[in-house]
Amino acid sequence: MIAEERRRQIVELVNQQGSMSVNDLMECLNASESTVRRDLSTLHREGRLRRVHGGATRVIASEFVMSDQSYAGRQEQHVLEKQAIGAYAATLIGPDDFVFIDGGTTTECLVDAITETNAIYLTNSLPHAQKLLAKDCRTLLPGGEVKQATEVLVGSETVNHIRRYHFTIGFWGTNGIGLESGYTTPEFGEAAVKQIAMEQTVRPFVLGDSSKFSKVSLITFADFADATLVTDVVSDPVYRQSGNIVEVGQ
């Protein structure tokens, strides 16, 4: 079998199965380990599949998210999934935690589910701060400019304020989730706040329902491996191989 025909078969097999090990490909193609590994390296360079430890996964087609929807509009989408994610995330907060909570409608469901009132909370979201105060939680707000679409504080003042703190646990929303692109958002100011806050956090969690998978927005604020992802369900076998995902169902 000529090399290109063998590589075409590898791509077809990986696309059909979602992922395949080197051993499985060796058996299907009746090829040696060195041949299969060499083919996988070539196909990875050409962007026809994604080489991973012990095998390969298919390339996931991405949908681009160019701008934020209105806050009110996003509150009406995937409500049950967001509530399940938020309820689980709330159980992770202990009385001695210093908690960062990012803006967004999924993190709002976290705030709604919070029962731990002895922790200290810092959020850059005005709606979240109001809800935390209503629960008698000790609540901190950074300085900065209010972004109208998401009602969060952004800008250099916000970044400099958050840089002073060290959070024990934190929770972020995201517009897109991708193995290669990481966690993405469409706005530069918001991305800067997300990035610095995550860098200052011991246990970071991204909260994102399954509709966010394989969506890519303009700016990456964290790599996929930088946080534990809490989501409702993972149906794609490519993502199922990741060791940093918690599925909570509905």
CATH fold label, 3-57 = Arc Repressor Mutant, subunit A (1.10.10)
More confident residue, 113 or 47: 113
pLDDT given at position 19? 83
Of residues 167, 118, 160, the one with CA closest to residue 142: 160
More confident residue, 86 or 44: 86
| Residue intervals in the chain for CATH 1.10.10.10 | 3-57
Q: Which amino acid is at 125?
A: S
Give strand pairing partners of 247. Answer: 231
Give the mean pLDDT of 64-73. Answer: 60
- Interatomic CA distance for residues 199 and 226, integer angstroms: 9
Band (66; pLDDT cuts 50, 70, 90):
low
Give strand pairing partners of 172. Answer: 206
Is the CB of residue 92 less than 8 Å from the CB of residue 227?
no
Model pTM? 0.77
| Residue intervals in the chain for CATH 3.40.50.1360 | 63-247
More confident residue, 149 or 142: 142
More confident residue, 65 or 93: 93
Give one DSSP letter per residue of 144-165, joined into a string: SEEETTTTEEESHHHHHHHHT-
Is the CB of residue 166 less than 8 Å from the CB of residue 98?
yes
With pLDDT > 70 as the criterion, what percentage of the chain qualifies?
92
How far lies 207's CA from each of 19, 37, 79, 168, in Å?
25, 36, 13, 17
- For the stretch 203-234, pLDDT in tens is 999 999 998 998 888 899 999 999 999 999 99
- Interatomic CA distance for residues 90 and 174, integer angstroms: 18
Mean pLDDT, the chain, integer: 90
Residue 169, pLDDT above cutoff 70: yes
Residue 23 CB contacts under 8 Å (≥ 6 apart), including other chains: none
The pairing of beta strand 50-52 with beta strand 55-57: antiparallel
Band (67; pLDDT cuts 50, 70, 90):
low
Phi-psi region of 25 (alpha: psi -120 to 50; beta: other; left: phi over 0): alpha
CATH fold label, 63-247 = Rossmann fold (3.40.50)
- Interatomic CA distance for residues 192 and 31, integer angstroms: 48
